[in-house]
A and B are shown apart, each in its own frame.
Chain A
């Protein structure tokens, strides 16, 4: 099983300021097809999770361009260029290279 480790677990951010979340996997997420299977999800309070980013850096439809993903191999980052009030919630990284899919512990983003 691939272990996913996020940091920080709590992230207080001032409105308009940038935010960054790190995610590390216990093994490489590069698949035999050459793609890297790392996703980022946002879960707003009381809502279902929503996928923001797939294959490290591809934004899902409707995701604002202030969200960006980067990284390779076992180290990945989600960045929000300017935090808005609607970004409050918990962010999870997840690998879908192999079953079982595994999630990071979650990072709670709040407004300072």
Chain B
């Protein structure tokens, strides 16, 4: 069955960067677009962006442009998302998800605190 397993929780200081990973198994990794969605504590879901099957093209939500980088490693079937210049408002659970969000990872809590 399809599985998306994300890396563990992170605690970062303001201004730092964080890189979250998402390992996919159970289907052909290079077939689908992959998305990232985040959820701040007690808040709703926010789409961050998408990467194409080959990893050669990305599309980011306007508010994340310039601060978010999505990549994928087809040799290890792993997706990555890096957020730079972290601020307290970036404290959230970050999810990876398959195209059309039919399968989700378990989420990675990123806490930004001085």
Contacts and interface: CB of A to CB of B under 8 A. Distances in A.
A94 B47 CA distance: 10
Interface stretch (A14-22, A76-84, A101-109): A101-109
Contacts, number: 48
Interface centre among B59, B61, B62 (most CB of A within 10 A): B61
Interface in A44-61: 48-51, 54, 60
A92 interface: yes
Contact of A51 (B59, B62, B101, B107): B101
A100 B59 CA distance: 8
A100 B104 contact: no
A43 B43 CA distance: 12
A96 interface: yes
Nearest to B100: A96
A53 to B, nearest CB: 11
A60 to B, nearest CB: 7
Contacts of A41: 45, 101
The 6 A-B pairs with the shortest beta carbon distances in the complex, nearest first, are A101-B47, A48-B104, A103-B45, A100-B61, A106-B44, A99-B59
Interface of B: 35, 37, 44-47, 49-50, 59, 61-62, 95, 100-102, 104-107
26 contacts: A41-B45, A41-B101, A48-B104, A48-B105, A48-B107, A49-B37, A49-B45, A49-B95, A49-B104, A51-B100, A54-B100, A54-B102, A90-B44, A94-B45, A99-B50, A99-B59, A100-B47, A100-B49, A101-B35, A101-B101, A102-B47, A103-B44, A103-B46, A103-B47, A104-B44, A106-B44
Given A48-B106, A49-B45, A51-B100, 19 more contacts: A39-B100, A41-B45, A48-B95, A48-B104, A48-B105, A50-B104, A54-B102, A96-B101, A99-B59, A100-B47, A100-B49, A100-B59, A101-B47, A102-B47, A103-B45, A103-B47, A105-B44, A106-B44, A106-B45
